[in-house]
Amino acid sequence: MVSEKVQKKLNEQIQKEFYSAYLYLSMEAYLASRNLNGFANFFRVQAQEERDHAMMFFNYVNKVGGKVELGQIDAPKGDFESLEEVFKMALEHEQFVTKSIYSIVDLAQEEKDHKTNAFVQWFVNEQAEEEETAEYNLRRLQLVGTDGRGILMLDTELAQRVYTPPAGVQQV
Ligand SMILES: [Fe+2]
Ligand SMILES: [Fe+2]
């Protein structure tokens, strides 16, 4: 069992992960509408990852004998000014999620809930990677600026990304 407080936080995280998937799908749609299919592919893979993150929390709450409660998922922003705005927003969003994960760690440690603490450590590492990738993408994009050839080069590169489900995630 986990405490009511921990359960509430885990349920809120399920919602945040699904919202992340929703936000990245919105970015995919915007990029696809601009014929940037490689960039769109990158965010499709991001969205798949986020959905799996949500399911990992979902499965964990069930596994520890808790009760999953699904909250409302807000509509994400649908239109963007530029590619740079998309990447800046993706980075800011990951930073927000990192804070949220850290707050679960803090609560688990406060309550000496070592099980939840151990579970959520995977996400601590995952967030470090997510922020690194988001920063890398933003810096590369800022490097090419509005140069069409540079953008198409990045588009080709991002088209290569393939989804690999995280180890241990139960596919749905
Ligand atoms: Fe996530
Ligand atoms: Fe993420």
**pLDDT tens for each residue of the chain, 172 residues long:** 899 999 999 999 999 999 999 999 999 999 999 999 999 999 999 999 999 999 999 999 999 999 999 999 999 999 999 999 999 999 999 999 999 999 999 999 999 999 999 999 999 999 999 999 999 999 999 999 999 999 999 999 999 999 988 876 755 4
* Full set of structural domains in the chain with CATH: 4-158 (1.20.1260.10)
3-state secondary structure 138-151: HHHHHHHCCCHHHH
| C-alpha 110 to ligand 1 mean position (Å) | 23
Which ligand is nearest the CA of 93, by number? Answer: 2
The number of residues making up the chain comes to 172
| C-alpha 1 to ligand 1 mean position (Å) | 24
Q: Which pTM was predicted?
A: 0.95
Which ligand is nearest the CA of 169, by number? Answer: 1
Which ligand is nearest the CA of 134, by number? Answer: 2
| C-alpha 83 to ligand 2 mean position (Å) | 18
Which ligand is nearest the CA of 23, by number? Answer: 2
